[in-house]
């Protein structure tokens, strides 16, 4: 795992011409810029004079680990601790605001290795000059930011990107983000968040890829590749961070930061696979989670971080703490002093400490008194320096600081087109019972109801990096542009948080009644999901619910567009004749993307990466639940694992999403009904578009191990492919599996796959299975990692 080995991501000819050319274009643009930026730093003079430590090493012709070793040998303990120190150079809403003269002095004395919440090619270039030219060692700084779903060109929130069920879309979004962020002086993003999220109450579900570890692993690989490509030395690449290592998404009750009291099996089989996939893809950085697993905060979890990640997985990248998570070890009650907290983290091999300054300020004496800490410090410093080396910063420290590149990179027409493309593909048609969608080209007078329809800030969701409201095209604007002002009436009706105002709702009702068609844009605003945004009630916000009920009661034809960063209880919207399009928070191109999907210029094919429960109290609901001795039974007279007051199913299960087209699944083919160790089995199916509409279908493969040493999940995603099929045409889709993909964390504490039957099912959603079968695994297999992290190759061919 020391090198970026690209796992097969099941790519195939399915990549559309548009996407191919979009990614290719970004790669070409970047390689041109790579050659113009690869000059050496201007440190020769210093080298002749003795120069900085880096200059001396470079002058000796040392490179890579040798140069890093030379630098390390010359560093004092305080300087090493300084390299592990990541300071906040500003705040999310006031970037660079903390870069004062005192801070520049800290750089000069080697007291800091990295800054976060900073941006700007020129501003950061100036600061880099201070580090490279005015400090004794001349070690460049690492500049970091949470570039999560775009830098200036904001894409859909990550949960929406996962809903594309397309790794190329995820890669494209990350690539555009890296091109822009790197042009703005940044080397490092704290993304992707690969935490599995099974509890919709958890606000950070918006930042990840949802409930299934196989989908999460695929999205993790794609994003890491988009940020880093294969070569971090290219100045248009940035270090990706797989976060928040451990089980951050498993907080009790869906509360952020809360304790994850999960079994080792669940940790290994469910929460860790996306991290494993990210490590295999070469993610150059990991972030540890704030929370504890069974009482051990991951920031201090030597067994998990140093033992499993570094040891068993052989991960040698840069591990960073979360914001202030080292001093928070005191709050957890596992350390009594700051230096004790720092020692725990350092010994767990958390290399860089984010924002509290503990390593630099409180650890000097402790390190000097402890050979174990000294060794840990050396190892951590080496990894920080190696990260800088991987980026090429020792040879080209100013490669990320070209203001002309920055000016040209932002929000280009290509980037906007990419954002619109991914946004359209992220949308999920939840239902279309009355067939209202797509809308007729001239639908008459349209009443757009709901404050979210004009809320530019909400269109871009949480973590907006440098996204700006003025860059956003809202739904109202896009619709007016398409139909003409005279055909569009807009009434906000109600906000998302405040108390409903009956007069404003009455105005909205009047507008709806006077219209031919109503577009109800409802849901949560951008600030109701994200960090520290857990909710106990995941229903529609109260004023939104009141507005929706009033509008639906008019009896007018209503199309609902749902904006949200989490699965919601949408029962008030969910009538038998409802048409509901889930748009998430779609990004800067929100309006055009939503309108294109509503009018059928783009056909929806997004799928749910997380199940929508019927009620808050059904959370957490996920398809990968283990069967019990008394599995949920629809028959209430039987004692079974269910709630009395709601059906056993969710409102919408993982993988659900409709289309304007219809598809038939036929001709199931199995290459063999046995699967031997070291062999593979292929499962093929024909998909026919039986409609008059060209569209994508997301073909999903689920498996289940009916008898094993431990109870195995009822359904596990093990393959998916988003396939474009023209009207009337058929495509063959073939998934290839190997026995390791049925392994699980067994009582032996190894990943084992038992001999025996495996059931599989293919369909358009976890609850929409069209074909099923089974085969026999003929021998016992030991795997070296979690099954869900293994990619399933997919091939797609024409009739």
Tally: H helices and E strands in the chain: 24, 28
Contacts of 66 (CB under 8 A, 6+ apart): none
Q: Is 300 helix (H, G, I), strand (E, B) or coil?
A: helix
In the complex, the smallest distance separating the C-beta of residue 246 from ligand BGC, rounded to whole angstroms, is 12
Q: Binding string, 136-165, against ligand BGC, x = CB under 6 A?
A: ----------x-------------------
Instruction: Output 162 or 787, the one with its CB closest to ligand BGC.
Output: 162
Instruction: Output 225 or 243, the one with its CB closest to ligand BGC.
Output: 243
CB 519 within 8 A of CB 453: yes
In the complex, the smallest distance separating the C-beta of residue 287 from ligand BGC, rounded to whole angstroms, is 6
Instruction: Output 352 or 658, the one with its CB closest to ligand BGC.
Output: 352
In the complex, the smallest distance separating the C-beta of residue 204 from ligand BGC, rounded to whole angstroms, is 8
Cα 281 to Cα 3: distance, rounded to the nearest angstrom = 8
Instruction: Output 359 or 654, the one with its CB closest to ligand BGC.
Output: 359
In the complex, the smallest distance separating the C-beta of residue 355 from ligand BGC, rounded to whole angstroms, is 8
Residue nearest to ligand BGC (CB): 190
Instruction: Output 243 or 405, the one with its CB closest to ligand BGC.
Output: 243
Q: Where are the alpha helices (DSSP H) in 252-401?
A: 264-266, 273-280, 328-332, 338-347, 358-362, 364-369, 371-390
> Which residue from 142, 125, 140 is spatially nearest to 53, judged by alpha carbons?
140
CA torsion angle 655 660 666 671 (round to 10): -50
CB 792 within 8 A of CB 7: no
Instruction: Output 202 or 323, the one with its CB closest to ligand BGC.
Output: 323
190 binds ligand BGC (CB under 6 A): yes
322 binds ligand BGC (CB under 6 A): yes
Cα 786 to Cα 750: distance, rounded to the nearest angstrom = 9
Instruction: At 194, list the tokens.
Output: 């690969």
In the complex, the smallest distance separating the C-beta of residue 317 from ligand BGC, rounded to whole angstroms, is 16
SS3 sequence of 465-534: CCCCHHHCCCHHHHHHHHHCHHHEEEECCCCCCCCCCHHHHHHHHHHHHCCCEEEEEEECCHHHCCCCCC
Instruction: Output 191 or 623, the one with its CB closest to ligand BGC.
Output: 191
In the complex, the smallest distance separating the C-beta of residue 145 from ligand BGC, rounded to whole angstroms, is 8
Instruction: Output 26 or 326, the one with its CB closest to ligand BGC.
Output: 326
CB 180 within 8 A of CB 613: no
Angle 481-483-489 from CA coordinates, rounded to 5°: 90
Q: Binding string, 529-568, against ligand BGC, x = CB under 6 A?
A: --x-------------------------------------
Instruction: Output 116 or 399, the one with its CB closest to ligand BGC.
Output: 116
In the complex, the smallest distance separating the C-beta of residue 125 from ligand BGC, rounded to whole angstroms, is 22
Q: Which helix (H) or strand (E) holds 219?
A: helix 213-228
- Catalytic: 768? no
In the complex, the smallest distance separating the C-beta of residue 283 from ligand BGC, rounded to whole angstroms, is 14
Cα 256 to Cα 248: distance, rounded to the nearest angstrom = 8
CB 790 within 8 A of CB 741: yes
Cα 691 to Cα 571: distance, rounded to the nearest angstrom = 30
Instruction: At 717, list the tokens.
Output: 């995603």
The DSSP result for 381-411, as a single string, is HHHHHHHHHHTTTTT-TTTT--HHHHHHHTT
Site for ligand BGC in 251-290 (CB under 6 A): none
Site for ligand BGC in 492-521 (CB under 6 A): none
Cα 88 to Cα 85: distance, rounded to the nearest angstrom = 10
Instruction: Output 516 or 531, the one with its CB closest to ligand BGC.
Output: 531
CB 299 within 8 A of CB 321: yes
- Which residue of 155, 202, 323, 744 would you call a contact of ligand BGC, by CB under 6 A? 323
- Out of 146, 236, 269, 322, pick the active-site residue: 322
17-36 vs 167-183: helix axis angle to the nearest 10? 30
Site for ligand BGC in 677-716 (CB under 6 A): none
731 binds ligand BGC (CB under 6 A): no
CA torsion angle 763 768 771 773 (round to 10): 90
Instruction: Output 116 or 346, the one with its CB closest to ligand BGC.
Output: 116
In the complex, the smallest distance separating the C-beta of residue 192 from ligand BGC, rounded to whole angstroms, is 11
In the complex, the smallest distance separating the C-beta of residue 243 from ligand BGC, rounded to whole angstroms, is 6
115 binds ligand BGC (CB under 6 A): no
> Which residue from 565, 568, 516, 560 is spatially nearest to 538, judged by alpha carbons?
568
Which parts of 10-90 are beta strand (E)? 85-88
- Which residue of 149, 243, 382, 738 would you call a contact of ligand BGC, by CB under 6 A? 243
Using CB under 6 A, count the residues that bind ligand BGC: 7
245 binds ligand BGC (CB under 6 A): no
In the complex, the smallest distance separating the C-beta of residue 656 from ligand BGC, rounded to whole angstroms, is 29
Which residues are the active-site residues?
322
> Can you give the binding site for ligand BGC, defined by CB under 6 A?
116, 146, 190, 243, 322-323, 531
């Amino acid at each position: 795992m020391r090198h970026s080995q690209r796992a097969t991501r099941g790519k195939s000819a399915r990549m559309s011409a548009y996407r191919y050319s979009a990614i290719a274009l970004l790669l070409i643009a970047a390689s041109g810029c790579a050659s113009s930026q690869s000059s050496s730093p201007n440190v020769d003079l210093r080298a002749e004079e003795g120069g900085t430590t880096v200059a001396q090493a470079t002058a000796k012709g040392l490179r890579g680990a040798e140069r890093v070793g030379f630098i390390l040998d010359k560093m004092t303990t305080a300087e090493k601790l300084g390299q592990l120190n990541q300071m906040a150079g500003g705040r999310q809403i006031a970037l660079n605001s903390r870069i004062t003269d005192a801070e520049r002095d800290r750089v000069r004395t080697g007291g800091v290795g990295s800054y976060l919440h900073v941006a700007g090619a020129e501003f950061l270039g100036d600061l880099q000059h201070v580090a490279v030219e005015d400090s004794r060692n001349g070690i460049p700084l690492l500049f970091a930011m949470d570039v999560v779903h775009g830098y200036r060109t904001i894409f859909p929130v990550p949960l929406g990107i996962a809903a594309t069920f397309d790794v190329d879309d995820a890669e494209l979004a990350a690539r555009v983000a890296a091109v822009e962020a790197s042009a703005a002086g940044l080397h490092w993003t704290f993304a992707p968040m690969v935490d599995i999220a099974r509890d919709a109450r958890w606000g950070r579900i918006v930042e990840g890829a949802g409930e299934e570890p196989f989908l999460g692993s695929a999205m993790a690989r794609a994003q890491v590749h988009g940020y880093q490509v294969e070569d971090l030395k290219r100045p248009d690449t940035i270090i990706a961070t797989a976060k928040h290592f451990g089980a951050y998404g498993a907080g009790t009750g869906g509360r952020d930061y809360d304790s994850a009291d999960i079994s080792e099996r669940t940790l290994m089989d469910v929460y860790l696979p996306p991290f494993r996939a990210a490590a295999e893809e070469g993610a150059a950085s990991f972030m540890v989670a704030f929370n504890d697993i069974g009482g051990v905060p991951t920031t201090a979890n030597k067994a998990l971080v140093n033992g499993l990640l570094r040891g068993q997985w052989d991960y040698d990248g840069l591990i960073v703490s979360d914001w202030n998570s080292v001093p928070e070890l005191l709050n957890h009650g596992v350390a009594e002093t700051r230096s004790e907290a720092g020692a725990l983290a350092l010994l767990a091999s958390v290399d860089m400490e984010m924002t509290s300054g503990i390593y630099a300020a409180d650890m000097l004496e402790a390190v000097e008194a402890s050979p174990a800490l000294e060794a840990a410090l050396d190892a951590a410093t080496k990894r920080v320096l190696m990260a800088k080396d991987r980026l090429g910063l020792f040879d080209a420290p100013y490669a990320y600081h070209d203001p002309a590149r920055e000016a040209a990179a932002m929000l280009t027409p290509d980037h906007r087109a990419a954002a619109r493309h991914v946004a359209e593909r992220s949308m999920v048609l939840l239902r279309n019972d009355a067939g209202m969608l797509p809308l007729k080209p001239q639908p008459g007078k349209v009443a757009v109801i709901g404050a979210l329809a004009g809320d530019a800030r909400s269109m871009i969701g949480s973590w907006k990096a440098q996204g700006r409201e003025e860059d956003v095209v809202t739904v109202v604007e896009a619709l007016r542009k398409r139909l003409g002002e005279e055909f569009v009436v807009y009434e906000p009706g109600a906000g998302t948080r405040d108390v409903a105002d009956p007069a404003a709702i009455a105005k909205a009702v009047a507008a709806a009644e006077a219209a031919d068609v109503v577009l109800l844009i409802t849901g949560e605003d951008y600030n109701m999901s994200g960090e520290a945004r857990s909710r106990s009630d995941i229903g529609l916000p109260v004023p939104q619910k009141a507005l929706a009920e009033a509008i639906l009661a008019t009896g007018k034809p209503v199309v609902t567009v749902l904006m949200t960063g989490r699965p919601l209880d949408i029962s008030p919207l969910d009538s038998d004749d409802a048409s509901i399009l889930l748009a998430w928070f779609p990004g800067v191109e929100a309006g055009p993307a939503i309108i294109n999907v509503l009018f059928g210029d783009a056909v929806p094919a997004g799928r749910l990466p997380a199940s929508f429960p019927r009620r808050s109290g059904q959370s957490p609901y996920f398809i990968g639940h283990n069967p019990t001795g008394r599995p949920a039974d629809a028959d209430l007279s039987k004692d079974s694992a269910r709630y009395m007051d709601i059906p056993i199913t969710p409102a919408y299960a993982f993988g659900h999403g409709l289309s304007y087209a219809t598809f038939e699944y036929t001709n199931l083919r199995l290459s063999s009904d046995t699967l031997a160790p070291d062999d593979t089995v292929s499962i093929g199916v024909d998909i026919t578009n039986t409609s008059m509409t060209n569209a994508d279908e997301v073909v999903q493969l689920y498996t289940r191990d009916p008898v094993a040493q431990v109870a195995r999940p009822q359904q596990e995603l093990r393959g998916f492919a988003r396939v474009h099929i023209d009207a009337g045409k058929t495509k063959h889709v073939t998934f290839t599996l190997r026995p390791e993909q049925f392994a699980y964390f067994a009582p032996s504490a190894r990943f084992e796959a038992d001999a025996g039957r495996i059931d599989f099912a293919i369909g358009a959603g976890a609850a929409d299975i069209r074909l099923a079968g089974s085969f026999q695994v003929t021998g016992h297999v030991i795997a070296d990692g979690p099954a869900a992290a293994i990619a399933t190759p997919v091939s797609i061919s024409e009739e």
